[in-house]
Structure 1
Amino acid sequence: MTRTVGVEEEFLLVQNRSPFLAAEGERVVAQAERSAAHDSEGNFDQEFMQQQAELGTAPHASIEDLLADLRGRRAALAEAARSRGVRLVPSATSPLDEDVTTTADERYERMTRAFGRVAMAQLACGMHVHVSIASPEEGVAVLDRIRGRLPLLRALSANSPFLAGEDTGYASYRTVLWGQWPTAGVPDVFGSVEEYERVRAGLVASGAALDEAMICFDARLSARYPTVEVRACDVCADAEDAGTIAALIRAMVSTAAEDAAAGVEAPPIRSDLLRAATWRAARWGMEDRLVEPLTGDLVGAWDLVDDLLDDVASALKESGDEMLVREGLARIRERGTGARQQREARREGGFGAVVDDLVGRT
């Protein structure tokens, strides 16, 4: 089975020649939809905050095709932003101010009433990777078997060290902000579709989620598509990093599905240990040791990457993505994650240089 993969990315909008965010999301998205030549399966969309804009690719069997689609949509959204006198910034939190305006939408208004300050703090931009599945049963089996690797994906994509003109000390401060939602994080093993649906319905009934779309697990069954949706990652500064991570996630999904079909049990990883692993990934990214999910030991971050590559080697070869992923990971290892790049830009020229560098990467 050749699994398709698609990517959704969220971006900040920043005023030109001014250190402030721009409440232009609705108009930027409308302009992108009018002017871009794109197929009907992809999209541009508004986000919770007017200071954000989102794109979504079509599903692709080829990572090269996915990257071409992603670059084209980034370029179209960036041009739409320029037409409104603003800039598109691929950072998972704002290095500038936090002055936000919610998008006029009845559902967003209900979210604000229900969750208060937690909702208003969510100026956070993620990357969501969708990988096709044969059935919900296969999807739940995949979720149960990839949960231990989700903190490592967060570390690889870490791209949010700053918030409102301050260094947070984290590589992915988006993780901290997003973790305030009551349904966020890595859930327990489900074991069946029936249990997944029971948990989902219980969270909605409790008020912790307004609807199925507000199930904020780090990985979930998509509410709209026949896919597993991995939501652990920060938006990447570089499209090439997004393609590398998307290919790696597809290999993880394929490997997990094959393991489930062969009767391999889901790894018995405690959720409290995964919370610790998630915190450490958010705090340090790839710059320090991370938690080995089965043992709880602290090991080198890149040793965990090597272990993951060993686990998914067969799937990467079958999809033809082995060289693409290995070369992409080597680039991240050499120059660092987005968090390291943002900090280097700040040392060279302050937060203005951070924004300029990020804008250039779109």
Structure 2
Amino acid sequence: MNLDFARSDRSTVGLEWEIMLADPATGDLVGRAPELLAALEEESADERHTVTGELLTNTIEVTSGIGSSVAQAVDDVARAIAAVRSATEPAGIELLSAGSHPFAQWYDQRVTDKTRYHTLIERTQWWGRNMMIWGIHVHIGVEDRRKVFPIINALAGFLPHLQSLAASSPFWAGERTGYASNRALVFQQLPTAGLPWPLHDWSEFESYLDDMVRTGVMADASEVRWDIRPAPRWGTIEVRACDGMSTLPELAAVASLVQVLVEQFSRDLDEGRALPELPAWFHRENKWRAARYGLDARVIVDAAGTQRPVRAHLAETLEKLAPVAVDLGCAAEFASVTTILDAGASYARQLAVADAAGGDLSAVVQHLIREFRSGPETSTAAS
């Protein structure tokens, strides 16, 4: 199979954000996206951003245009959210985002009436119906497809860092799971999801796709659902490992970290330096540790098996790569990764709210609604 990789300007940024629709009084999910989307899609037709549906009718996805910087892509997303609010507020619908809803049940949700979604559910059955998960996708432009898999393999070493920063799914169907990101482990149950296979060049990816299509596993490259994947249509590397971010500033912070890492690895390749790689078994363990412990995880950082607290390794990485962030014009967003390290990720804030409310998960939903509107809450006193 010959697969083209679209031309893309280096280190450009694209963002996708999956957003829940909720009843403002009960906090439960509402499957009302179909009644909103026709107008929202039409209104966004001439804009840089898009507003679309997703697998479940309780979800709307907003997507940026191609940003020359993180700030431009984030501005697109902010405009998209404003457009969505113009439709949801008169309809009595609230917005929130996290990797999972604290108490909603899968059997109460409706699947969007599209052939590809019905096909997915028919094949995956119970696991597919349980995909009550929300995430972000960060696309970074790569100018040469020969760089794609070396960068993916190196970037995989930072998946636990990104996953820990974004972790926001400590509850599932009303239960405290004990995981910072329960979504990470649920999502990998789908066929072709999970960690990327350790491929080394584009021809190996084409061979993989040929095998998958020939055996009926997937129809095309768009059904590769890895935590990091090539996006041939856009000429990007797409990071899909992160839970739904609860706030726009945190989305910007994580996007800047992805952009800076990809750019640094691209520079290393330009200068003839080999990129770091970990054995696949270390990646698997790191993913589990990040899902379980979030920012309190200890992760394996090199092929020798060296283990470091993810907070400390992130802090060192931020210091080392700060000049690259300046070059890319995302220094402010990049610096705000430190805010997440200092104040805690969404999963920790949700758990604190639940504890303060005596385990009442409706309080957690109201907290997420407030955060989505106003930004991270630095105190749980009001919760």
Q: TM-score range by the shorter chain?
A: over 0.9
* 1:121 shift after superposition: 1.1
SS at match of 1:361: helix
What amino acid is aligned across from residue 89 of structure 1 in structure 2? L
Corresponding position of 1:355:
365
Report the Cα distance in structure 1 between the residues aligned to 2:281 and 2:143, rounded to whole angstroms. 30
The partner residue of 2:259 within 250, 263, 280 is 250
Contact 1:132 1:227 in 2 (8 A): yes
Report the Cα distance in structure 2 between the residues aligned to 1:205 and 1:168, rounded to whole angstroms. 39
* 1:265 shift after superposition: 2.5
Contact 2:10 2:142 in 1 (8 A): no
SS at match of 2:240: strand
1:86 aligns with 2:93: yes
Report the Cα distance in structure 2 between the residues aligned to 1:96 and 1:29, rounded to whole angstroms. 25
Residues 268 and 333 of structure 1, relative CA distance in 2, 3 Å threshold:
closer
Corresponding position of 1:15:
23
Report the Cα distance in structure 1 between the residues aligned to 2:214 and 2:164, rounded to whole angstroms. 33
SS at match of 1:181: coil
The partner residue of 1:229 within 233, 238, 248 is 238
* 1:167 shift after superposition: 0.9
SS at match of 1:220: strand
Report the Cα distance in structure 2 between the residues aligned to 1:315 and 1:95, rounded to whole angstroms. 38
SS at match of 1:234: coil
Corresponding position of 2:345:
337
Deviates more, 1:286-295 or 1:143-152: 286-295
1:269 aligns with 2:286: no
1:117 aligns with 2:123: no
Deviates more, 1:239-248 or 1:10-19: 10-19
Residues 85 and 224 of structure 1, relative CA distance in 2, 3 Å threshold:
farther
SS at match of 1:189: coil
* 1:39 shift after superposition: 4.6
The partner residue of 1:66 within 64, 69, 73 is 73
Report the Cα distance in structure 1 between the residues aligned to 2:35 and 2:145, rounded to whole angstroms. 37
Report the Cα distance in structure 2 between the residues aligned to 1:279 and 1:300, rounded to whole angstroms. 14
What amino acid is aligned across from residue 371 of structure 2 in structure 1? R
The partner residue of 2:142 within 114, 133, 136 is 133
Contact 1:187 1:271 in 2 (8 A): no
Corresponding position of 2:381:
none
Identity %: 26
Give CA deviations for 1:91-113 in whole Å, capped at 9, x if unaligned.
11111222221110111111111
- Consecutive unaligned residues in structure 2, runs of 5 or more: 1-8, 373-383
Contact 2:296 2:311 in 1 (8 A): no
Aligned residues: 360
User: Normalising by the residue count of structure 2, what TM-score does the alignment of the two structures yield?
Assistant: 0.88
Give CA deviations for 1:74-93 in whole Å, capped at 9, x if unaligned.
23223322333222111111
* 1:194 shift after superposition: 0.6
What amino acid is aligned across from residue 246 of structure 1 in structure 2? A
1:312 aligns with 2:317: no
Report the Cα distance in structure 2 between the residues aligned to 1:209 and 1:304, rounded to whole angstroms. 37
SS at match of 1:333: helix
Corresponding position of 1:285:
294
Residues 312 and 185 of structure 1, relative CA distance in 2, 3 Å threshold:
farther
The partner residue of 1:195 within 185, 204, 212 is 204
Report the Cα distance in structure 2 between the residues aligned to 1:32 and 1:149, rounded to whole angstroms. 36
Residues 206 and 277 of structure 1, relative CA distance in 2, 3 Å threshold:
farther
User: Normalising by the residue count of structure 1, what TM-score does the alignment of the two structures yield?
Assistant: 0.92
Report the Cα distance in structure 1 between the residues aligned to 2:294 and 2:218, rounded to whole angstroms. 29
What amino acid is aligned across from residue 51 of structure 1 in structure 2? N
Report the Cα distance in structure 1 between the residues aligned to 2:167 and 2:302, rounded to whole angstroms. 19
Report the Cα distance in structure 2 between the residues aligned to 1:67 and 1:354, rounded to whole angstroms. 25
Report the Cα distance in structure 1 between the residues aligned to 2:52 and 2:237, rounded to whole angstroms. 20
* 1:164 shift after superposition: 1.2
Corresponding position of 2:179:
170
Report the Cα distance in structure 2 between the residues aligned to 1:174 and 1:204, rounded to whole angstroms. 27
Corresponding position of 1:75:
82
1:48 aligns with 2:55: yes
Report the Cα distance in structure 1 between the residues aligned to 2:99 and 2:210, rounded to whole angstroms. 29
Contact 1:159 1:237 in 2 (8 A): yes
SS at match of 2:89: helix
Residues 31 and 353 of structure 1, relative CA distance in 2, 3 Å threshold:
farther
* 1:212 shift after superposition: 1.8
Report the Cα distance in structure 1 between the residues aligned to 2:96 and 2:305, rounded to whole angstroms. 36
Report the Cα distance in structure 2 between the residues aligned to 1:272 and 1:208, rounded to whole angstroms. 24
* 1:2 shift after superposition: 5.7
What amino acid is aligned across from residue 220 of structure 1 in structure 2? R
